[in-house]
Structure 1
Amino acid sequence: MTDSARSGPKLRVLVISHPCVAPAYRRKFDLIAESGDVELRLIVPEAWPEEATLVRFDAASAPEWMRALPATWEGYYTRYFYKRGLADQMRLFAPDIVHIEEEPYSLCAGQAVRTMKRHAPNAKLIFRTSVSRDIRLKSFAKPLLRFVERSVYRRTDRAFVLSAHAKQWLATRGYTGPTTTFPNGIDTRVYRDLGPDAGSEQREALDIPASSYVVGYVGRLIPAKGIETLLDAVGAIPDAAALIVGDGPHRAALDAHIAQRGIGDRVRLTGQRPPVEVAALMHAMDAFVLPSLTTPLWVEFFGRVLAEGMACGVPVVGSDSGEIAGTIGDAGLVFPEGDATALGEHLTRLRADDAFRDGLIAKGRARAESEFTWETIAARTVAAYRETAGAA
C-alpha cells in the first residue's frame, strides 16, 4: 500500500462476520488492521458450527479489535442474529462504514440495517454475498427474508461479490448499486512453503505406490460434489489412484460405489484433516479435481480448493458447475459436470504431456499469487472502503 494511501484519516470500519469466529478465516482482517488505514471492529458470534465441530470464540488468542456477542440460531446463516450487544458496539464505535459479511437476505443483515438507523445513521453500508443464483429458501421464511433483502438493498452503498455472474444475479434481485468483485482468498503460505518431500512422504504414509497417478479431491463428502464422477474416471485409467480428503454424510454411499467398481485398492479416503495436513496431502496429488454437480438447491459458488491446488503447484480440473470455470480461468481444465469420460480425457492428457502439465502448473501458481492471496484481497478491500467513504 502506498504512502499516499496512508496519508488520509483512518476509517472506522465495523465488520459483522460469522465465519470469522474461526481464526482460519480472519487473515484478511488481520492484514486490514495491520495496514494502518483502518481502525477495525470485528463482531462475531460466541460460537459457530464448522463441519462437525462447534468453534468457540477464544478471547485469549483473539486480537483486541474483535468482539464476540451472544447469538441465536448459530449455524443457520439466514436465521441467526445477535441477542444483545450489537447496538452498543455500533453506538460506541461510531463507524464510518458497516461491512456485513452476511447474505443480504439474512436476519443478521436486517438486524444490522435496523441498528444502523438508530445508532450509526451516517455510516456507509457494504454487504458481501457469495451467491450468484437463486437459493431455495424455506417457504415459511421467504416473505420475511425477501423483505429483509429489499431493506438491505435500499440502504447499501456497495456490494462485494464473488463474480460477474453474482453482480448480474443481484440486479435481478433488485440491487443495482456499486459493486466490487472479490474472489475468496487463501493463505498461500500454507500451501506453498512445504518441503520438497511433502508429497512423497504422504504417499508413503498412505501406502500409495510410487508409480500411481494420483487424482485428488478435498472437501465435504456430499452428493452435490460429484465424487462418483472422479472415481469413475480414475477407474478407467490404468495405474491411477484416487485420494479423497474430507468427510460427510455421503461416505457410506461412496464406499458402496467404490466396492461396486472394484477399485478399493486404488482409493484412499483420509477423513477430515486440519489445513496443514491438507496442504501436504495436496502435494501428494498429480492432479486435483473438483467434480461438482449443480442441483436445484446448490451450485458451486467459487471453489476455494481450486485456488489451494494452484498454490500447491498441482494442475487443477473442474466441472462446469457454477463459478468453477471462472475460478480456474486459463490455469486449468474444465469438463461438463457428470461426464467421467471427458474428465478421464483431461487426466490422460495431463499425465502424458509434461510440457502442457507444467504450463498449467506455472499459470496456476501465478494466478493463485495474483488473484487469491489474502494480501491482495485485503489491499483491494481497503481501497474499496476508501472509495465508498468518498476518501479515495
Structure 2
Amino acid sequence: MKILVIDKTAVLNSSHERYERITSHAEVELCVFSPTSWHEHMRQVRAERTHHPAYRIELGRTFWNGSYSRGFYLTGLKRCIRDFRPDVIQLLEEPWSLFAGQAVKYAKKIVPDCRLLFYTWENIYREGTYCSKIDFLHRRVEASVFESASSGICATETAAEVLSRKGFSKPTPVIPYGIPSRFIAAEEEIHRRQARPLSEPPRIGYIGRLLEMKGIDTLIRALTKVEGELILLGSGEAEKDLRALSADLGLEPRITWISAVPPEEVIEHLRSLDVLVLPSRTTVTWAEQLGRVVLEAMGSGVPVIGSSSGSIPEVIGNSGLVFEEGNEKELAEKLGSLFENADLRRGLIQLGWEKVRDRYTWRSFADDLIHHYQSLLNESQA
C-alpha cells in the first residue's frame, strides 16, 4: 500500500512520530510531502527533517506561507504525485483549503484511481462561510474535494457532525491525533503521582497561547476565590491585558509568568503542576477543537479541568472536571473540590492516564488509519 501524506506540520521534527508508527506496518510504503519552511508555533521553521530511513520525505515551496486556508504549493507537489503514484493520498487539510483543492486537481489527472482522504477539525457549522474574504473560492474547493474524496477523517465526533450537516455522505471515521509518547507516563510514575500530596500552595497551570479566546481572564478571576499559585506558560497578544487584570485584582504575587519554551521543555513544567486548566471561550468563529495540552496533562498524570467550549467535554469525558465557559465561580468550585478531595484527585489521575494510553497515542492513530485505508482499497477491488 503506497501512501502519500500531505502535511504542512511535517516541517517539525516532532510531527514525525506519527509517520514512524505508520511505517511500522509492513505493508506500507510511505511518502510525506511538506513545505521547505512554514510559519508554525509563532515562528518560521525550516524543515527540521529532510530524510528518514523508513520513508520518503519530499519538500515544496509555498505561496502565502503560514496561511492554512489561502496558501498553496508553488513547487514539488505535482512531481511528487507523479513520481510516487500513491494508492492513498491523505490530506492533513480541511476540505476547503486551497492546499486540498490543489492536491485534488493533481490527483484526478495523475492517479485517478487512488483513494483520497482529508482530515477535519472544524467543529462549528457555518453555512457557506469560511471566515475568509474569498468564501466563494473555498465553497468551490470544498465541493470539489467532497466529490473526489473517498472519506473524511474527523478529529472529534463534533467534526463528524459538521461534515454530515454539510452534506458529506461518505465515511467519516473519528480518528483523533495522538500525543508524543514522552507525555505518556509509565504506570509506576502514575502511582507515584497519586501518592504525592498537594503542593503548598497548590500549583494551578495554564499552558498555551495567551489569547482572548483562551479564556485566561476567567482563570485569573477564579484565583480570587481559591487558594493556589497560578503558573501561566505561554505568550500572545492578550498578555498585556491579562497582566493588567491580575494587577487590578491584587494577584501579582500569586501568578508566575513564563514565556513560551521549546516543545521539549514543556513536559517538565507540566509535571510540576497539581492541576491543569483549559478555560477556553467560544467565539462566533471558533470553539476549542481538541485541547491537546489537556491530553498531554492526562497522559502525564496531571488532573485536568476544562471549560464547556467546543470539543473539551468530549475529550475530557469522565476523566476530568468541566465547568461552564466564562463561569469563574464554577471554576473556583471545581478547583476547590479537587484540592479538598484526595480520592477524587487519585481517581482522575488514573482515568485520564488510561484514556490517553488507550485512545490518544500515535500507535492508535496509525493502526486506525491503516485499517480504514485497507477497507477503502478492498471496496474498490470488490
Q: TM-score, normalised by structure 1?
A: 0.90
Q: Is the 8 A contact 2:125 2:165 kept in 1?
A: no
- The answer on 1:342 being equivalent to 2:330 is yes
- The answer on 1:33 being equivalent to 2:23 is yes
Write the distance in 2 (CA, Å) between the matches of 1:138 and 1:178: 26
Letter in 1 for 2:280: S
Give the superposition deviation at 1:35. Answer: 2.1
Give the superposition deviation at 1:107. Answer: 0.6
The aligned counterpart of 2:204 is 215
Provide the aligned C-alpha RMSD in A. 2.0
Write the distance in 1 (CA, Å) between the matches of 2:169 and 2:138: 19
| 3-state DSSP of counterpart to 1:269 | strand
The aligned counterpart of 2:355 is 367
Write the distance in 1 (CA, Å) between the matches of 2:271 and 2:47: 31
Alignment partner for residue 41 of structure 2, among 45, 48, 51? 51
Letter in 1 for 2:39: P
| 3-state DSSP of counterpart to 2:313 | helix
Give the superposition deviation at 1:293. Answer: 0.1
Write the distance in 1 (CA, Å) between the matches of 2:322 and 2:73: 41
The aligned counterpart of 2:221 is 232
Write the distance in 2 (CA, Å) between the matches of 1:316 and 1:175: 34
Q: Is the 8 A contact 2:208 2:235 kept in 1?
A: yes
Q: Is the 8 A contact 2:10 2:47 kept in 1?
A: no
Letter in 1 for 2:122: V
Segments of structure 1 that go 5 or more residues without pairing to the other structure are 1-10, 201-208
Give the superposition deviation at 1:191. Answer: 5.0
| 3-state DSSP of counterpart to 1:76 | coil
Over 3 Å counting, the alpha-carbon distance change for 1:257 and 1:194 in structure 2 is farther
- The answer on 1:242 being equivalent to 2:230 is yes
Alignment partner for residue 57 of structure 2, among 59, 66, 69? 66
The aligned counterpart of 1:115 is 106
Write the distance in 1 (CA, Å) between the matches of 2:166 and 2:258: 41
| 3-state DSSP of counterpart to 2:18 | helix
Alignment partner for residue 357 of structure 1, among 345, 354, 357? 345
Q: Is the 8 A contact 2:5 2:91 kept in 1?
A: yes
Over 3 Å counting, the alpha-carbon distance change for 1:168 and 1:269 in structure 2 is same
- The answer on 1:12 being equivalent to 2:41 is no
The aligned counterpart of 1:148 is 141
The aligned counterpart of 1:187 is 180
The aligned counterpart of 2:371 is 383
Letter in 2 for 1:145: H
Letter in 1 for 2:273: M
Write the distance in 2 (CA, Å) between the matches of 1:186 and 1:80: 26
Write out aligned runs for 1:92-103 (5 A).
92-103=83-94
Q: Is the 8 A contact 2:33 2:59 kept in 1?
A: yes
The aligned counterpart of 1:203 is none
| 3-state DSSP of counterpart to 2:65 | coil
Over 3 Å counting, the alpha-carbon distance change for 1:318 and 1:222 in structure 2 is same
| 3-state DSSP of counterpart to 1:314 | coil
Q: Is the 8 A contact 1:214 1:241 kept in 2?
A: yes
Q: Is the 8 A contact 1:220 1:248 kept in 2?
A: yes
Over 3 Å counting, the alpha-carbon distance change for 1:139 and 1:357 in structure 2 is closer
Q: Is the 8 A contact 1:42 1:66 kept in 2?
A: yes
| 3-state DSSP of counterpart to 2:23 | helix
Q: Is the 8 A contact 1:150 1:174 kept in 2?
A: no
- The answer on 1:170 being equivalent to 2:163 is yes
The aligned counterpart of 1:131 is 122
Deviations 1:72-113 (A, max 9, x none): 111101111111221211111111111100110011111111
Write the distance in 1 (CA, Å) between the matches of 2:41 and 2:76: 27
Deviations 1:108-136 (A, max 9, x none): 11111110111111101111011121365
Letter in 2 for 1:378: A
Over 3 Å counting, the alpha-carbon distance change for 1:344 and 1:368 in structure 2 is same
Over 3 Å counting, the alpha-carbon distance change for 1:125 and 1:303 in structure 2 is same
Letter in 1 for 2:34: V
| 3-state DSSP of counterpart to 2:158 | helix
Aligned residues: 371
Over 3 Å counting, the alpha-carbon distance change for 1:60 and 1:163 in structure 2 is closer
Give the superposition deviation at 1:274. Answer: 1.8
Letter in 2 for 1:105: W
Write the distance in 2 (CA, Å) between the matches of 1:340 and 1:29: 41
Write the distance in 2 (CA, Å) between the matches of 1:319 and 1:138: 24
Give the superposition deviation at 1:137. Answer: 3.2
Give the superposition deviation at 1:224. Answer: 0.3
| 3-state DSSP of counterpart to 1:114 | helix
Alignment partner for residue 251 of structure 2, among 257, 263, 275? 263
Give the superposition deviation at 1:163. Answer: 1.7
Letter in 1 for 2:270: M
Q: Is the 8 A contact 1:310 1:364 kept in 2?
A: yes
Q: Is the 8 A contact 1:46 1:70 kept in 2?
A: yes
Segments of structure 2 that go 5 or more residues without pairing to the other structure are none
The aligned counterpart of 1:83 is 74
